[in-house]
Amino acid sequence: MKFRAKLVDAACLNNFTRVSNMIAKLAKTCTLRISPDKLNFILSDKVANGGENFFSEFQMEGVSAENNAIYLELTSENLSRALKTAQNARVLKIKLTNKHFPCLTVSIELLSVSSSSRVVTHDIPVKVIPRKLWKDLQEPTVPDADVSIYLPVLKTMKSIVEKMKNISNHLIIEANLNGELNLKIETELVCVTTHFKDLGNPPLASENASQDRSSEQMAEVHIDIRKLLQFLAGQQVNPTKATCNIVKNKIVHFDLLHEDVSLQYFIPALS
């Protein structure tokens, strides 16, 4: 098993750092899936994050020819802390190494005013995940969404959801094909609803769905507000594209695109 990658572009480095910070905010431990053409961060709350095109050099060799992937478990904070020193990096290299125990070695060559180079190396301990557990880490298959809608500004959403959390843990998210999204909290004493209008809907994948329902009909999911808040809290920058897909009473799926990085976040309905 081997893995080795190199990052030289400052913008890509920033993106990678940002992704890592986001992951660190979302979960304490994350799984890194290394495939021949991309790198995925998988968090146990069913979040998957894929990234390609970052690396100027990317070489990997999986467990075996048929299973050409590597699954590693690591503490997310370690990676984001390692990348914090990469702000002024000339080159960033990531390798899978074995120093007493398996490590992801992040080697950063810093830009230096003087003639000499400065190199920072971080050895992040990782756990190699055996093949028999790989099936638990596959991207979930999601049934076609009933409604697909573009999200409002995430910061606005976050501040609203934060306030709602004080009232109840049970949040109802609903949207329709008319560009309307509602966030609802219902308790014995009070009902609070925030209405977002004119959000716009992306073209739906399946044509049948759009014919069956009227554009005003809402599709709703009941979710744990804390999961939504955790997701929103990790978003530092507004994404290039943000879509919310609702499968009625089953699951809500957030699909974000930050330039080259795509983030998928699935929140299951409360049973």
Partner 1 sequence: MKCLVTGSNVKVLGKAVHSLSRIGDELYLEPLEDGLSLRTVNSSRSAYACFLFAPLFFQQYQAATPGQDPLRCKILMKSFLSVFRSLAILEKTVEKCCISLNVRSSRLVVQLYCKYGVRKTHNLSFQDCESLQAVFDPAVCPHVLCAPARVLGEAVLPFPPALAEVTLGIGRGHRIILRSYQEEADSTIKAMVTEMSIGGEDFQQLQAQEGVAITFCLKEFRGLLSFAESANLSLSIYFDGPGRPAIFAIKDSLLDGHFVLATLSEPDPHPQDLRAPELQQPAPQLQAHSTPHLDDFALDDIDSYMIAMETTVGSEGSRTLPSTSLSPGFQPHCSPGSHSEEEDDTEPSTVPGTPPPKKFRSLFFGSILAPAHSPQGPSPVLAEDSEGEG
Residue numbers at the binding site for partner 1 (CB under 8 A):
1-2, 4, 61, 75, 78, 81-82, 85, 95, 97-101, 103, 105, 107, 112, 114-125
Dihedrals phi, psi of 32, to nearest 5 degrees:
-105, 125
| Shorter beta-carbon distance to partner 1: residue 130 or 200 | 130
Say how far apart CA 143 and CA 252 lie, in whole Å: 11
| Shorter beta-carbon distance to partner 1: residue 115 or 208 | 115
Say how far apart CA 64 and CA 120 lie, in whole Å: 32
| Shorter beta-carbon distance to partner 1: residue 124 or 173 | 124
The nearest distance, CB 15 to partner 1, in angstroms, is: 21
Say how far apart CA 31 and CA 65 lie, in whole Å: 21
Say how far apart CA 146 and CA 132 lie, in whole Å: 34
Asked if 94 and 41 touch (Cβ cutoff 8 Å), the reply is no
The nearest distance, CB 12 to partner 1, in angstroms, is: 21
Concatenated DSSP letters of 206-230: -HHHHHHS-TT--EEEEEEHHHHHH
The nearest distance, CB 78 to partner 1, in angstroms, is: 5
The nearest distance, CB 73 to partner 1, in angstroms, is: 12
| Shorter beta-carbon distance to partner 1: residue 82 or 171 | 82
Question: 3-class secondary structure for 85-151?
Answer: HHHHEEEEEEEEEEECEEEEEEEEEECCCCCCCEEEEEEEECEECCHHHHHHHCCCCCCCCCEEEEC
| Shorter beta-carbon distance to partner 1: residue 45 or 123 | 123
Sheet bearing 219-224, strands edge to edge: 191-196, 181-186, 170-175, 219-224
| Shorter beta-carbon distance to partner 1: residue 68 or 112 | 112
Say how far apart CA 249 and CA 235 lie, in whole Å: 25
The nearest distance, CB 8 to partner 1, in angstroms, is: 17
The nearest distance, CB 200 to partner 1, in angstroms, is: 44
The nearest distance, CB 129 to partner 1, in angstroms, is: 15
| Shorter beta-carbon distance to partner 1: residue 95 or 170 | 95
**C-alpha radius of gyration, the chain, whole number:** 21
